Amino acid sequence: MVTSSPRYTHINRQFIMRVAQNELLRRSSIKDTIKATKNKIHQVAGAFVQSEMHYSEWLGSLKNATQTRNMVEFTKICQTIMRFHASTRERLPFLSGFYKQIFSSLPPIQSILDIACGFNPLAIPWMGLPTGIHYLAIDIFQDLVDFLSNYFALLPIQGHSESFDVIESIPTHPVDLAFILKTIPCLEQVDKLAGNRILDHLQAKYILISYPVRSLGGRSKGMQENYQIQFQKLIAGRGYQVKKYEYPTELVYLISTEYL
Ligand SMILES: C[S@@+](CC[C@H](N)C(=O)[O-])C[C@H]1O[C@@H](n2cnc3c(N)ncnc32)[C@H](O)[C@@H]1O
């Protein structure tokens, strides 16, 4: 019933089942459970993506730009695509400075895990990554990760993407850097311990965690202060070394676990 709705057909089934089971415990009727399940899935995933994605058209344009070696055109198309994901889109006005600042604070990186990636992998041309780097991107939208898989094939990197409910589990192979961008608040709407569990299991030398400082509607409502407190609770007792960066729509923490 939930999965037959066109908005949710591409969402990871295991994730939908988890949300539905949580909601069922709190509701007395199936009708209310379905409604609450749809609302929750909208809040944590559906609200970020446009209802119409133009995956085959975008892929055709990206292939064309690659074949004609037109990197200016390639990056322009990436920018256009990033506008179709509300969370990734917010980073566009400061994208170049964002990744310059982050990567200039890090040693050379050979592997990245992008958790709940949205369209962030479309920002790879701004990251200045070395050829052959391993990049694994995961999210709950099957159509989005299928598109990313075709996109990765056009880049000089070892890129992979998978549909993954990161509340259930995360990839635990060792990586140099993990991105968890503006995602922990979404996950914790479904499972309050999700952020803690990810940090317990992640095998990353560096972790970039960020929080939104405005809602999708544009209101800030003390979000920055709240998320600063939440972040401090999340990392309490973990012995991490942390650097903080502030961007107009994003509060960012670069964590080093390596010196331990
Ligand atoms: C706020 S967006 C952040 C997107 C991206 N990290 C960025 O900052 O550009 C949250 C993302 O988390 C994904 N998501 C939500 N719940 C998830 C789950 N349980 N497992 C994996 N991804 C999830 C959504 O589909 C969405 O793309």
Q: Which of 90, 126, 127, 183 to mutate to test the pocket of ligand 1 (most atoms within 8 A of CB)?
A: 183
Quick check: helix, strand or coil at residue 53?
A: coil
Residue closest via CA to ligand 1's atom 20 equals 165
pLDDT at residue 260 in the model:
40
96 Cα to the center of ligand 1, angstroms = 21
Helices (H), 1-159: 13-26, 30-44, 55-67, 71-82, 86-89, 95-104, 142-152
Q: Give the C-alpha separation, 111 to 109, whole Å.
A: 6
Mean pLDDT across 84-94: 96
139: Cβ–Cβ under 8 A, 6 or more apart, which residues? 116, 117, 118, 145, 161, 163, 164
Q: What percent of the chain has pLDDT over 70?
A: 97
Burial class (CB in 10 A: 0-12, 13-18, 19+), 227: buried
**pLDDT above 80 for 259:** no
Q: List phi, psi (to 5°) of 175.
A: -135, 160
Ligand 1 close to Cβ of residue 240 (< 6 A): no
- What's residue 223's pLDDT? 92
Question: Are 161 and 121 spatial neighbours (Cβ–Cβ below 8 Å)?
Answer: yes
Mutational pocket test of ligand 1: of 14, 114, 140, the residue with most ligand atoms within 8 Å of the beta carbon: 140
Per DSSP, what are the bridge partners of residue 159? 135
Q: State which ligand 1 atom lies nearest to the alpha carbon of 165.
A: 20
The pLDDT assigned to 213 comes to 94
Average pLDDT of 149-176?
97
Checking if the pLDDT of 2 tops 70, the result is no
Check residues 36 and 80 and name the one with the higher pLDDT: 80
Specify whether the CB–CB gap between 52 and 143 falls below 8 A: no
The reported pTM is: 0.95
C-alpha Rg value of the chain to the nearest Å: 18
Per-residue pLDDT tens for 168-216?
999 999 999 999 999 999 999 999 999 999 999 999 999 999 999 987 7
What is the tens place of the pLDDT at every residue in 219-257? 778 899 999 999 999 999 999 999 999 999 999 999 999
Residues 6+ apart with CB under 8 A from 72: none
Contact indicator for 238, 244 with CB cutoff of 8 Å? no
Ligand 1 centroid, distance to 49 Cα (angstroms)? 10
Whether 160 and 135 have beta carbons less than 8 Å apart is answered as yes
pLDDT above 90: residue 3: no
The protein residue with its alpha carbon nearest to ligand 1, atom 4, reads 118
Q: Is the pLDDT of residue 217 over 80?
A: no
Over residues 69-98, mean pLDDT: 97
